[in-house]
């Protein structure tokens, strides 16, 4: 995780409070009524009402309302398909869930997170390949002592994940068998690197590219043996940052060379269909993925580009897809933290930039950083000192705080199904309303909207000659399903 402070020099103040507000989650059967009515779920600005199903009788009627923010639906005008919404199941998150909760408590917690019927239905997870800055210690899956090397990967082992991460993953998959999983390395094994260290950057020596490709192959196959399918990998977490924690530097040229000479051919030779994603860093350097994709020999193996939120603008994502529209865009990391004390500020920024902004700019997923952390915002492995998880778990009281990210994600993850298509709607942000719409594969529709203004705004959703209108409170987020 790079430079949390950088983000908040660039962005206005955000926050998180423990949120145990008026949470009312109901089964999908009432989310998707078949009598022509629209279900409405809202979270208000101060977080006292969260994902609350409003008791309204809202239906389409002949379009008559004037002086509204019009949102016109053309169901045939769809864009990217969505892979899901979620967070990172870091080593720290797995530890918190496994050690701070009993099996029964964890079962309830995981259903709140991953079951769309009773919870928010998270549908995407990110893992670290080896340790990250939120693990209990530094390690990779092939650490050697002294000057030893292991280019044949005979020493490769994921045993470090067998007591915490893999058991939690299996419990999650039992709840949501369709969940998608991506994985990212923070560091290659030290013996492969120029600085012979897991920390402080250093690059992978070209002479070890084939060995490192084998490392990825072994990882994917090892998790597959445990019944866990890795849908996508990124080449390197934040390759432009030589962090004091586990990290590896990798230039755009090196990333393209690694893909075309080693990783892509290794995946082909082993019949691995896991997607290869590039970059996995901030919005401020779209030139990096553009350069990697500019190498045709590497491009043929690449499925898309991953981005983080800590610098730059979400609009940068479109710069990549404009040049390479056949390649996907993924939003893979952003964290909130104790530096921002206002629930409504978080709701506003995350609506505009992540939950709504990222998909509107082409993202197929939206992921926050740690899924779960303890009351001390840890355990930490030399990473961010005051980041928060999507949930917080108190190690003593066992109380679970559902943080603002939980509700932000829920406004989409609960209603937007796997392979839903984003519906192209005109941008209404200049009128104070951020919004994004989806068409699920079963024909149901979803609209997520946020009112940035300090007064109530009336929106009107138009499909042909039919419409419905609704007053969105100041600073409120609303999800509509029909």
Profile the chain (482 residues) by mean pLDDT over runs of 10 residues. 40 35 42 69 97 94 85 94 98 98 98 97 98 98 97 98 98 98 98 98 98 98 98 98 98 98 98 98 98 98 98 98 98 93 94 98 98 97 96 97 97 97 97 98 97 97 93 98 96
Angle subtended by helix axes 404-413 and 343-350, to nearest 10? 40
Helix (H, G, I), strand (E, B) or coil at 466: strand
79-118 as b/e: b if 16+ CB within 10 A: ebebbbbbbbbbbbbbbbbbebbeeeebeebbbbbbbbee
What is the CATH class of 4-10+83-415?
alpha beta
Contact at 8 Å (CB) between 213 and 268?
no
Cα–Cα distance for residue pair 100/304, rounded to 1 Å: 37
Helix (H, G, I), strand (E, B) or coil at 99: helix
Question: Residue 340: its pLDDT value, please?
Answer: 79
Question: Residue 35: its pLDDT value, please?
Answer: 62
Count of CB atoms situated within 10 Å of the CB of 57: 6
- Residue extents of the structural domains in the chain: 4-10+83-415, 37-78+424-481
Structure token digits, residue 275 = 């997607």
pTM of the predicted protein model: 0.93
Question: Residue 22: its pLDDT value, please?
Answer: 41
Cα separation values, 401 from 208, 337, 375, Å: 44, 14, 9
Question: Residue 7: its pLDDT value, please?
Answer: 40
Peptide bond before 379: cis, by omega within 30 degrees of 0?
yes
Burial (CB < 10 A; 0-12, 13-18, 19+), residue 159, is: exposed
Cα–Cα distance for residue pair 421/211, rounded to 1 Å: 39
Contact at 8 Å (CB) between 37 and 369?
no
In DSSP terms, which residues pair with 445 in a beta bridge?
439
Helix (H, G, I), strand (E, B) or coil at 59: strand
What is the CATH class of 37-78+424-481?
mainly beta
Q: How far is CA 22 from the centre of its chain?
A: 25
Q: Of the candidates 91, 84, 92, 81, which has an alpha carbon nearest to the alpha carbon of residue 113?
A: 84
Question: Nearest 5°: phi and psi at 276?
Answer: -105, 120
User: What letter would DSSP give residue 193?
Assistant: B
Burial (CB < 10 A; 0-12, 13-18, 19+), residue 33, is: middle
Looking at the chain, the number of H-run helices and the number of E-run strands are 14, 25
Cα–Cα distance for residue pair 211/260, rounded to 1 Å: 14
Same fold, 4-10+83-415 and 37-78+424-481: no
Contact at 8 Å (CB) between 343 and 363?
no
Measured in Å, how far apart are the chain's first and last C-alpha atoms?
Answer: 38
Contact at 8 Å (CB) between 81 and 420?
yes
Contacts of 363 (CB under 8 A, 6+ apart): 80, 307, 317, 329, 330, 331
Question: Residue 2: its pLDDT value, please?
Answer: 42
Count of CB atoms situated within 10 Å of the CB of 442: 9
Contacts of 411 (CB under 8 A, 6+ apart): 41, 43, 51, 355, 448, 477, 478, 479
């Amino acid at each position: 995780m790079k430079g949390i402070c950088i983000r908040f020099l660039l962005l206005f103040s955000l926050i998180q409070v423990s949120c145990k507000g008026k949470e009312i989650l109901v089964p999908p059967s009432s989310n998707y009524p078949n009598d022509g009515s629209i279900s409405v779920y809202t979270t208000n600005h101060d977080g006292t009402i969260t994902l609350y199903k409003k008791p309204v009788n809202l239906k389409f009627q002949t379009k008559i309302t004037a002086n509204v923010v019009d949102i016109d639906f053309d169901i045939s005008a769809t864009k990217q398909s969505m892979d899901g919404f979620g967070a990172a199941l870091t080593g720290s998150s797995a530890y918190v869930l496994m050690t701070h909760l009993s099996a029964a408590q964890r079962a309830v917690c995981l259903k709140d997170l991953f079951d769309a019927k009773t919870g928010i239905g998270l549908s995407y997870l990110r893992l670290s390949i080896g340790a990250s800055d939120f693990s209990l210690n530094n390690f990779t899956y092939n650490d050697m002592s002294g000057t030893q090397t292991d280019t044949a990967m005979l020493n490769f082992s994921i045993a470090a994940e067998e007591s915490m991460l893999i058991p939690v993953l299996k419990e999650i998959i039992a709840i949501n068998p369709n969940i998608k999983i991506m994985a990212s390395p923070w560091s290659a094994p030290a013996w492969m690197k120029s600085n012979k260290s897991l920390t402080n950057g250093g690059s992978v020596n070209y002479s070890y590219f084939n060995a490192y490709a084998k490392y990825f192959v072994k990882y994917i196959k090892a998790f597959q043996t445990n019944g866990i399918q890795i849908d996508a990998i990124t080449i390197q977490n934040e390759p432009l940052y030589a962090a004091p924690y586990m990290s590896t530097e990798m230039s755009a040229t090196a990333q393209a060379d690694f893909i075309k000479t080693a990783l892509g051919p290794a995946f082909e030779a082993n019949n691995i269909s896991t997607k290869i994603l590039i970059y996995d860093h901030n919005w401020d350097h779209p030139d990096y993925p553009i350069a990697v994709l500019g190498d045709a020999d590497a491009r043929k193996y690449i499925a898309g580009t991953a981005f983080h939120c800590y610098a730059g603008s979400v609009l940068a994502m479109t710069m990549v897809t404009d040049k390479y529209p056949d390649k996907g865009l993924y939003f893979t990391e952003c964290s909130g933290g104790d530096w921002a004390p206002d629930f409504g500020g978080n709701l506003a920024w995350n609506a505009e930039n992540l939950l709504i902004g990222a998909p509107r700019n082409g993202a197929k997923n939206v992921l926050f950083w740690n899924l779960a952390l303890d009351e001390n915002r840890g355990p930490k492995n030399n990473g961010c000192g005051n980041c928060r998880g999507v949930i917080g778990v108190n190690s003593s009281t066992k109380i679970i705080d559902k943080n603002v990210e939980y509700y932000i994600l829920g406004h989409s993850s609960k209603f937007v199904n796997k392979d839903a298509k984003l519906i192209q709607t005109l941008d209404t942000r200049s009128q104070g309303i951020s919004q994004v719409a989806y068409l699920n594969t079963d024909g149901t529709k979803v609209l997520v909207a946020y009112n940035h203004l300090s007064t109530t705004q009336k929106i009107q959703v138009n499909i042909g000659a039919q419409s419905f209108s609704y007053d969105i409170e100041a600073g409120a987020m609303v999800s509509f399903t029909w």
